[in-house]
Structure 1
Amino acid sequence: MSRKYVITLLSVGHACVDVYQGAVASLVPFFVSERSYTYAAASGIVLAASLLSSVAQPLFGALTDRHAMPWLLPSSTVVGGLGIALSGLSGSYALTLVFVAISGVGVAAYHPESARVARLASEGSHAAMGWFSLGGNIGFALAPVLVAVVVGTGGLHLSPLLVVPALAGSVLCLPVLRGLERTRAAGGASGAGQRGGVEDRSSFVRLALAVVCRSIVFIGLSTFVSFHVKERMGGSTAAGTAALFVLYLGGAVGTVVGGRLAERWNRVTVVRWSYLCTVGAVAGVVFVPGPAVYLFVALASAGLYVPFSLQVTLAQDYLPTRVGTASGITLGLTVSIGGLASPVIGRLADVTSLQTALTPLIVLPALAWLLFRDLPEPVAPERPAPEPARAPEKVET
């Protein structure tokens, strides 16, 4: 099975999983309108989706360092979809939290193992890992469209239809699993993906702190940008949904651009400049009135997603003997810390205004830039050169 084919399948499967991360924020306006939730209560749903994920994702990463578990790809995809599908059926706030939490666990189980498999399939290519991450960004981008079509037209009681992408994604994982099995049978790489090398824990911690800053900004925007743009565009629900779509679509563009730029310059430089540019973009989202806000939403999204796949591979290179753990922590922090901060933003919005609550997000990309200023670019281990072909010995007769 070719590398390009495997990465394509993994990318599409990634989209089918991450549609459920995007669906949580996309469902929030419908929970507010149909169930009269406050901003704080609505952001609690985002918290529930990310709280268990923040603990589970590093644990699954540690497990994949010890044992390869490719079967997690289809099973976790289904779990992620079922949680979101059931979240709209009960009017109980507690049950809604339980269902979105179950979805969060499914998403958490998927990412470390899929990142490990993608790393093996990409053979260290930043561009290939960018394409894998692109799938997740497309899933995020499609989430508000999918939710608007299903829930926006028929209400929350049609949420079971949202399980369809999960079923499709689980089927797409099967050829990858068969390919891995054939590789294992042929004696190829089939372990948990560990590599040799020296760990740089200090750099990993600084990278993780930068990911925390990014997480709070992105999850904060994805939770509240639809409400914010709706207020600034005269109360149009469609305007708010469009802003969320632009936020996720800009991330898809940023991921591909990030992989390409890293092939030309080093990853640390690309991430550093991306965060610096994001400071102005987030300020534009918060303060610029009128339709121009969509431009700044797109720029902020691209700026936050250029570092996405690059931070994952950097984490793997800083902890080369624990690739699964590095992936689990990095990907887990991407959503979990932002989910923990969302209720704080929501509470501040309830007592002041949404614009005031979003203003502190401008500072966080600057902190991420500071954390990246002196980070070293890891040197990839050199592959052993192939032995030259030996000339056949002459046989004397």
Structure 2
Amino acid sequence: MGRVRNTTSIPLLAVGHACVDVYQGAVAALIPYFVAERHYTYAIASGIVLAASLLSSVAQPVFGALTDRWPMPWLLPVSTLLSGVGIALSGLGDSYALTLVFVAISGIGVAAYHPESARVARLASRGSHRAMSWFSLGGNIGFALAPLLVAAAIGHGSLRWTPVLALPALVGAALTVPVLQLYARPRGGTGGTPPSRGADDMTSFVKLSLAVVFRSIVFTGLSTFIALYATQRTEGSATAGTVALFLLFLGGAVGSVLGGALADRYDRVRVCRWSYLLSIAAVAGVIHAPGPAMLVCVALTSAGLYVPFSLQVTLGQDYLPSRIGTAGGVTLGLTVSVGGLVSPLLGHLADSTSLRTALTPLIVVPALSWLLFRTLPEPTAPAPGSGPAPTVGRKAAPSTRVGNS
């Protein structure tokens, strides 16, 4: 029965994750349309990314702490719908203030989703790096599909077609129902003492969180402006902008699966170090490589930034084993969203100089993540127990396996 639960719930959670992260990717994908249709400056347009990130950044650790104390699986469908409603309404009307409010509502939905979904995925995966990488893959696919869905919905019309973008939220909310039913069903043998969680390593967790912040700054900065930058580099081709953003998000899907596979052979910390070294050169290529080589570098940048993605989530949970909801809220949420706080600064710099000048400092940021990972240990933990997985409806500790999946 445990195997049935694992094989059923992880794919459903991955697809549900995709349906939510469509709305994180949609914010960046909508920026060129806001610039073209409403004539926003770079700084004003990047304020939309800030609105999506600001409340999300503050709210995610709060939701993480709440789910550590009171498991709230009902948040999965509710937050999915909230994420979709915000983006669906963002293109209606001409009010910049209302646009910010609607995008912020979507950001709150994303904030509520990730800590609880990471906790449920941890239970379903039973500590497997590979299973968690598949869960993360779902989110990356959602990111990758966002520019295509936005282009299909409003590319030949106007921003007033954004309500069409509510469809993924309806699908994602529906998919969470069988997962919640599956885990809410009581099972024998779950009432015993949960396995030992080990001691928290707050110092390593803080260093890891800073490394994820720097990664987020690079990824959010590129995702906000890469479509506009690619369009400039190709003398006004909107298709090039869509392709560049798609590659930036699609490379993340490849990177997440690759990260889980590499973690089965090497330890997670070492894999993350290699990935950030690759990212330094790849980001430089995005900004300065000529012609089609730029698009190749976009794909390499995405893979380099996303190989560590799911590994950082499980590392955070292993550094903070007594508060896995909080750990998920920070590593999967807060530190990912906080990169959006830097976007307005890049926008102001781009308005006063050029996009290339504004993006150039991003080359050195992955090096800061690499330096922090040089100081991090690989956590050790006992192998997972042979008993059944705990239910979502009660507070119980998942296994914290860090060896091969």
Give TM class, smaller chain: over 0.9
Counterpart among 137, 153, 175 of residue 178 in structure 2: 175
Aligned to 1:26: 29
Q: Secondary structure, in 3 states, of the residue corresponding to 1:276?
A: helix
Q: C-alpha displacement at 1:194, in angstroms?
A: 9.3
Cα distance between partner residues in 1 of 2:56 and 2:192: 26
Deviation at 1:30, TM superposition (A): 0.4
> Counterpart of 2:398?
none
Residue equivalent to 1:394:
none
RMSD: 1.6
1:63-110 residue CA offsets vs partner (Å, 9 max, x unmatched): 010011100000100000000000001210000000000000001100
**Letter in structure 2 aligned against 1:343:** P
TM-score where L is the length of structure 1: 0.94
Match of 1:188 in 2: 190
Equivalent residue, structure 1, for 2:90: 87
Aligned equivalent of 2:6? 3
1:47-58 correspondence to structure 2 within 5 Å: 47-58=50-61
| 3-state SS, counterpart of residue 156 of structure 2 | helix
Q: 1:100 to 1:385 in 2, by over 3 A?
A: closer
- The one-letter code sitting in structure 1 at the alignment partner of 2:344 is P
Q: Deviations over 1:126-177 (max 9, x none)?
A: 0000000000000000000000000112211111110000000000000001
How far apart, CA to CA, are the structure 1 residues paired with 2:52 and 2:195? Answer: 30
Aligned match of 2:299: 298
Any conservation in 1 of the 2:286–2:297 contact (CA below 8 Å)?
A: yes
Alignment partners' CA distance in 1, 2:192 and 2:386: 22
229 and 189 in structure 1: CA distance in 2 versus 1, 3 angstrom threshold: farther
Which of 94, 115, 119 is matched with 2:118 structurally?
115
The CA distance in 2 between the partners of 1:195 and 1:19, in whole Å, is: 37
What is the distance in 1 between the residues matched to 2:234 and 2:195? 51
Instruction: Output the amino acid matched with 2:211.
Output: A
Q: How many residues are aligned here?
A: 384
Q: Using the alignment, how far apart are the partners of 1:160 and 1:194 within structure 2?
A: 46
Corresponding residue number in structure 1 for 2:361: 360
The one-letter amino acid of 2:239's match is A
Contact 1:197 1:381 in 2 (8 A): no
Show the counterpart of 2:310.
309
Contact 2:12 2:175 survives alignment (8 Å): yes
Structure 2 gap ranges (5+): 388-405
1:257 maps to 258
In structure 2, relative to structure 1, the CA distance for the partners of 1:198 and 1:43 (3 Å cut) is: same
Which residue type is aligned with residue 373 of structure 1?
A: R
Name the residue aligned to 1:105: 108
Matching residue of 2:213? 212
Counterparts of residues 137-286 of structure 1 (less than 5 Å):
137-182=140-185, 184-186=186-188, 188=190, 196-286=197-287
Residue 334 of structure 1, CA deviation: 3.9
Equivalences for residues 49-88 of structure 1 within 5 A: 49-88=52-91
C-alpha distance 291-178 of structure 1, shift in aligned 2 (>3 A): same
3-state SS of paired residue (1:234): coil
Cα 1:48–1:14 change in 2 (3 A) is same
Rounded to whole Å, the distance in 1 between the matches of 2:8 and 2:183 is 13
Normalised by the length of structure 2, the TM-score is: 0.92
Cα distance per residue 1:342-393 (max 9 Å; x no partner): 000000000001000000000110110000012100002234579xxxxxxx
Aligned-pair distance for 1:239? 0.5
- Between stretches 322-331 and 92-101, larger displacement belongs to 322-331
Residue of structure 2 in register with 1:320 after alignment: 321
Residue of structure 1 in register with 2:137 after alignment = 134
Q: What is the CA–CA distance in structure 2 between the aligned matches of 1:383 and 1:232, rounded to whole Å? A: 51
Report if the CA contact (8 A) 1:281-1:296 is conserved.
yes
Secondary structure of the structure 2 residue equivalent to 1:153: coil
Partner in structure 2 of residue 288 of structure 1 = 289
What amino acid is the match of 1:108?
A: A
> What are the Cα deviations for residues 228-269 of structure 1, in whole angstroms up to 9, with x where unaligned?
111111111111111000000000000000000001100000
How far residue 335 of structure 1 moved from its aligned partner, in angstroms, is 3.1
2:150 maps to amino acid: V
**Displacement of 1:291 after TM fit?**
1.1
Extract unaligned runs of 5+ from structure 1: 387-397
8 A Cα contact 1:194 1:320, kept in partner: no
SS in 1 for 2:364: helix
**Larger Rg computed on CA atoms:** 1
Deviation at 1:333, TM superposition (A): 3.1
Measured in 1, the distance between the counterparts of 2:33 and 2:336 equals: 21
Label 1:73 to 1:385 Cα distance change in 2 as closer, same or farther (>3 A).
closer
CA contact (8 A) 2:212 2:336 kept: no
CA contact (8 A) 1:73 1:110 kept: yes
Indicate if the aligned counterparts of 2:209 and 2:335 stay in contact, CA closer than 8 A. no
Is the 1:76–1:109 contact (alpha carbons within 8 Å) kept by the matching residues of 2?
yes
